[in-house]
Structure 1
Amino acid sequence: MRLHRNLVFATIDALSDIFNEGNYADKVIEKTLKRDKRWGSRDRSFIAETVYEIVRWKRLYTEIAEVKAPYSRENLFRVFAVWATLRGVTLPDWKQIEPTPSRKIKGKFDELSRIRKYRESVPDWMDELGVKELGEKVWEKEIHALNEQAPVVLRVNTLNTTRDNLRSVLNDEGIKAEPVKGYPYALQLEERSNVFRTEAFKKGFFEVQDANSQLVAEFLDVKPGMRVVDTCAGAGGKTLHIAALMENKGQIIATDIYENKLKELKRRAKRAHAHNIDPRSIESTKVIKKLYGTADRVLIDAPCSGLGVLSRNPDAKWKLQPEFIEKIKITQAEILNTYSRIVKDGGKLVYATCSILPSENQGQVEKFLASEHGKDFKLIKDKKLLSSESGYDGFYMAILQKN
């Protein structure tokens, strides 16, 4: 592989934005890729994949490069040299890149790879928490799986097409995708590509959604004609799936505290031809109180640590703090207590997170069922999905019924 100066410089700039300015990797990459219209798909994928890879292995690479924050450009070039050496990429003779001691780099890599927190490139506190909550063996497998690049999975929008037809339409556009066994609405791309430019996307034939994430709406057990409340709807990935499962019949009230996310949901719903969604911004407690006792189904896709989705958000390893996890657990409990009151007698509630920590998952459900708010509910079943077992995002979901 021959390295091009402008692509490497763009990579270094993006890393500086992420490591020094604390900006989100996906947003930085999106902005960086707009820098030069002449870049082809290969150039763009070099930048995106190299940045993500260096972010993913930040602790290991910076340790090998012997650099610490804040990261000067000189230091970021040293980290880049570590990436290139370990990937077998020949470094050019540029003044920014000092002569690289490749034997020393490889020797240090072998030495640090014996220690999990370096080998899997995680902060000390996260490694300790993973062991405490999941046990040494499970955490070892799980953090290894979460360091793999996430596959691109599509969810067919059955309001507009079928899975077989979507596969055929994509194939005509030069994109090969295979059905995923055990996931009736999922197609996985054989090679990464920009599916948002396809005609199939513009026609609302699919959404990009992880295979395990697709199981949440199914778990909710909805039927056409029901009244469903999606309480933390965000931009509506799961809301749109619920609409398809309900065949556009009945009502889905999609609530969120962020109005801009609901605006995005409206755009997506229009493209998907999902007509039974009623987005409502939570501006005060009145919005939720009005819904008490009215819903056949309630989905609480709770805010969480996001530890189950590190493969697609590797920078979360460096942004997350233990204090945040403690705070979010308080929020989760409050949301469960409040939003559970929306369920009518005989109705069902799904509590879901994209976390792998039992304290955010079954721990919260047990606490809720033992409380005054949860005394009328019983657990029907729950599901723990680990990346190391499925190859997709880590998820938890529990379905509770109100007596």
Structure 2
Amino acid sequence: MKTFLRRLAILDYLRSSKVQKSTDDILNHLISSDYLDAAGKGGRSGDSVADSAAVRRTIQRDLNFLYGAKDVLNEEGDNDFGLEASRGTGKSLLWSLDPYSTLAYDFEKMPTYLALSFAMTQKHLSDIMPKNTLAEMERFFKNADTKLQKEASKVSPQQFGRLKESVEFYQRGQRLQAANYDIAVLDTIYRAILKSKQLTFSYRGKSYRVHPFGVVILLPKLYLVCKKHEDIEKPNEYRNFLIHKISDIDVATQASRVPESFNLKAYLDDGNMDVFIDPDDRAHYHLVLRFTIAESSNLIADLAENPISDDQQLKQINELQYELTAKVKRTIQLKNWIMGLGRVATIVSPSIIQQDILAELNALMSNYSDYETPL
């Protein structure tokens, strides 16, 4: 019982502090609070204030237990208390509690727009949140729902029912069912990113050790963006792993090396998740695309509002024809988009992208060479 109370006192002491505390700070607090007394009776037989080394070992065992690992700087602990450790002066350790675990909030004063934001966060992001974050957010979700229930008295039940159902994520084009993935895998990736650690895992029968750079959601798939350890010095050797195919994942003890200059959005904007028709050809091309549009089409308005590149230009040639110019790369995504436009789009230039489309059309037609063409 004394051991339990002493460990509870350690957590309470750290929770009440806004700064990190050293092991000695914790030890002195326990002594002054009579959890370790001058008579030498601590939580374990043989503990004595006079025997400082033995007492320190006792407190260190307590801290290791609360953290969930013996080597707190290099091992991923099974930490349910939000305890965090970092290197202090020399070989000393500094301890604190995850600030989110001590967060207080006056839910009665929660504005309705914030309650709705929490409700929508719960609906759309719960499946991809880190486990600890989701656990901490549960009280916000619960109280947000209570707030919205109270607001329901001010509007009709039909209006209230629409609040959380008013926004959905959806895929454009042919909808694909999302593959099932292990939430524990995603949670391990998040922990490695937060702690700046490397990851080890199996992927399609091979073992990898990687430096995690981030997680990308491309509906309906989730990807881990990373570099293999042996490629960490190479500037553009990124790998994108499908998270639902990752297994046997662990946070490694080694620190990851992610440059401060790395920006995941810039990585995506540069087309690094695109699939190239020719992996050796990543050059930019000046695309000129001509459209012959029916009066009822919204294609031109869509392209004006959602351009395919930052430098896209749209010019009307005559009543029914428009010309689009843009800087593009030869990607599968571009090829599929142009083919999806059908007969309304004609590639004026460059010839290499014309050939990409013609090659695909010829291959497609060959699939039906044994079928009779209807009269």
Does the alignment reach a TM-score above 0.5? no
Which protein has the bigger strand share? 2
Which protein has the bigger helix share? 1
Normalising by structure 2, what TM-score?
A: 0.28
